[in-house]
A and B are shown apart, each in its own frame.
Chain A
């Protein structure tokens, strides 16, 4: 006999789920016990369920695979929500497992402690949410959840697991176990022939093409094809902010996301091949003047989700396809002609980019004390090698880092961009280091964002994951305080902190911790942090006045508060 929990774990293992992130509880006791006994799958205890769901999200972002997070019934489930919502907004797949009270007590509930309608809780932020009412349905439900999570526009899928189902004893062959490949749609998910012909016609006739890459390219593993196609076309290449690394940011045809070079290309190009992007807010909605006029610029949009195509701007060709298959087909259809030279507009775009970047040189090399945040961001990126995984938490450090933090490899930039959830950085880094122990992983935090989940330093220490956390400490929710300066006549409400020693907090959890106050101490402190061989926190005091006035905060505020007067 096996238990329902054993059956579930076997199903997860067949789907190549190697980690379940979470916190045990009474109802999932059997499940955690089964995971502990099973080969090839680990239970990773976190110190808050929110961190567990962020870790499952990050695992998908850096590996392209899928993992799971677990919360017990009630508070465990509700604590998972922020990380699941973040993954939902960024189209990151995961399995969300929640324990539930016994099936004979649930739906409707009638007085159990911690009872909660978790199906309704997760419905708005998952692609699939179902309760497993009988042990025999576990394999079918796992297959359905994984199929939903990994198909089309990817995202979280939820299984609600009544305790009696997990503890039920069944014969090992009580349920049909099939291999995942036997339960998925086949085919490449490529382009329709008529779409392909029109795409090739537009691209071959383009004078100033732009290839614009969104996170869908990373999810589909299509970066090699995207780069080859851009080089074949002599096209400029830009990415959405979330897709940084889809092309090396020092590639001669690449332009920095949201930079003036990218904006110039977006506005100036006659044909745009947009892949795996929805032209969301941080892509300026695909609107003029930061994109071409609707009736002039031809947009080819390829996405796995038909709801995305044409959502925010009209398209000349809209195609529903897997990004990798589609780009391969376009490359093949273009034939073996030699690659075109990069088009002349790229030099103009890069001139705009260089002019923009030149405006940051002074601050990024500033010797002033307190430390200028741009000096800190530059030194951190220059310290770590190209292949480092870059994690950005919330706050103005995101803005500063956008000027100087280059990403050179795909699936190497982690940022909870569309949800903008503070605190995702540390759990993201833990999962990234777990997936790639051979690569350096560093996190840029605001002091506000760091304190959302600082207890995960203990998780990193316990697991032996030497990540480096750099805190831009301005003793405030700096981004909001800066926005209050702009919008509220510098009246500050609810934004200032007591001066907290984050380095001492780190040391209390067995990590390396240092406070840094002088600019010439940044480099040596980074070296000591890495040499420590344990998770490290650098608590860097930055110039609050400078930090509040991040140059493009006004642009972001314009996006966030569009239509709100002023």
Chain B
């Protein structure tokens, strides 16, 4: 079943998969922090809503949506950058170094867990996903 990106249902499915993915849990072991994703709207691409979502990692035992809750790491980017990352068109580390993805949080810790980040992206890329606006042409999964 496909979910709208960053909807409550999407986050619940993400948490379920993250919590049960042994490879991710191994790659992110010791991370123990909270992350928040702030997705900026792109009205000219039909994305009118600002999305905020967060979770604790690596357990993903708690997720929240629509709440600007303080987190250990906050990742902020326009909607299209997240679409590029979710579809594998843009590596998250390169998104950061290219300054397309803004990061607030401990850079030493983030760089220590790059493999965990890449593993997290693999898990998320396995979730059938629907995107907003003109990005719907890049929906994936079924």
Contacts of B96 in A (CB 8 A): 289
Among A69-77, A133-141, A351-359, which stretch is in contact with chain B? A351-359
Contact present for A352 and B108 (CB under 8 Å)? yes
- Tell me if A204 is interfacial: C-beta within 8 Å of chain B: no
Q: How far is the CA of A287 from the CA of B108 in the complex (A)?
A: 16
Q: How far is the CA of A264 from the CA of B113 in the complex (A)?
A: 12
Among B11-19, B32-40, B41-49, B99-107, which stretch is in contact with chain A? B99-107
Q: A268-B106, A554-B94, A558-B94 are in contact. Are A352 and B99 (CB under 8 A)?
A: no
Q: Of residues 103 to 132 in B, which have CB atoms within 8 Å of A's CB atoms?
A: 103, 106-109, 111-115
Of the A-B pairs whose beta carbons lie under 8 Å apart in the complex, a sample of 30, sorted by A's number, is A260-B111, A263-B111, A264-B108, A264-B111, A264-B112, A265-B108, A268-B106, A268-B107, A287-B99, A288-B99, A289-B96, A289-B97, A289-B103, A289-B107, A290-B97, A345-B108, A348-B106, A348-B112, A349-B108, A351-B108, A352-B112, A355-B111, A355-B113, A355-B115, A356-B111, A359-B115, A554-B94, A555-B97, A558-B94, A558-B97
- Tell me if B56 is interfacial: C-beta within 8 Å of chain A: no
Contact pattern, A 58-101, Cβ under 8 Å of B = 1, otherwise 0:
00000000000000000000000000000000000000000000
Q: Of residues 343 to 368 in A, which have CB atoms within 8 Å of B's CB atoms?
A: 345, 348-349, 351-352, 355-356, 359
Of A264, A351, A359, A562, which is within 8 A of B107 by CB? A264
Interface of A, secondary structure class, is: helix
CB distance from A212 to the nearest CB of B (A): 16
Q: Of residues 46 to 77 in B, which have CB atoms within 8 Å of A's CB atoms?
A: none
Q: Of residues 83 to 105 in B, which have CB atoms within 8 Å of A's CB atoms?
A: 91, 94, 96-99, 102-103
- How many A residues touch the partner, as a band? 20 to 34
- Tell me if A325 is interfacial: C-beta within 8 Å of chain B: no
Q: A268-B106, A289-B103 are in contact. Are A558 and B112 (CB under 8 A)?
A: no
CB distance from B109 to the nearest CB of A (A): 7
CB distance from B57 to the nearest CB of A (A): 16
Interface of B, secondary structure class, is: helix
Closest B residue to A291 using CB positions: B107
Contacts of A352 in B (CB 8 A): 108-109, 111-112
Contacts of A316 in B (CB 8 A): none
CB distance from B98 to the nearest CB of A (A): 6
Contact pattern, A 231-271, Cβ under 8 Å of B = 1, otherwise 0:
00000000000000000000000000000110111011000
Contact present for A356 and B107 (CB under 8 Å)? no
Contact present for A558 and B107 (CB under 8 Å)? no
Q: How far is the CA of A554 from the CA of B108 in the complex (A)?
A: 21
Contact present for B113 and A263 (CB under 8 Å)? no
Contacts of A267 in B (CB 8 A): 107-108
Contact present for A289 and B99 (CB under 8 Å)? yes
Chain B CB within 10 A, most for which of A263, A352, A359, A558: A352
Closest A residue to B109 using CB positions: A348
Q: How far is the CA of A352 from the CA of B30 in the complex (A)?
A: 13
Closest A residue to B107 using CB positions: A267
Q: How far is the CA of A376 from the CA of B133 in the complex (A)?
A: 50
Contacts of A558 in B (CB 8 A): 94, 97-98
- Those 3 A-B pairs whose CB atoms lie nearest each other, nearest first: A267-B107, A264-B108, A348-B108
Contacts of B98 in A (CB 8 A): 558, 562
Closest A residue to B98 using CB positions: A558
Other A-B contacts than A355-B112, A555-B94, 13 sampled, CB-CB below 8 A, are A264-B107, A265-B108, A284-B97, A290-B97, A349-B108, A352-B108, A352-B112, A355-B111, A355-B113, A355-B114, A356-B114, A555-B97, A558-B94
Q: Of residues 93 to 141 in A, which have CB atoms within 8 Å of B's CB atoms?
A: none
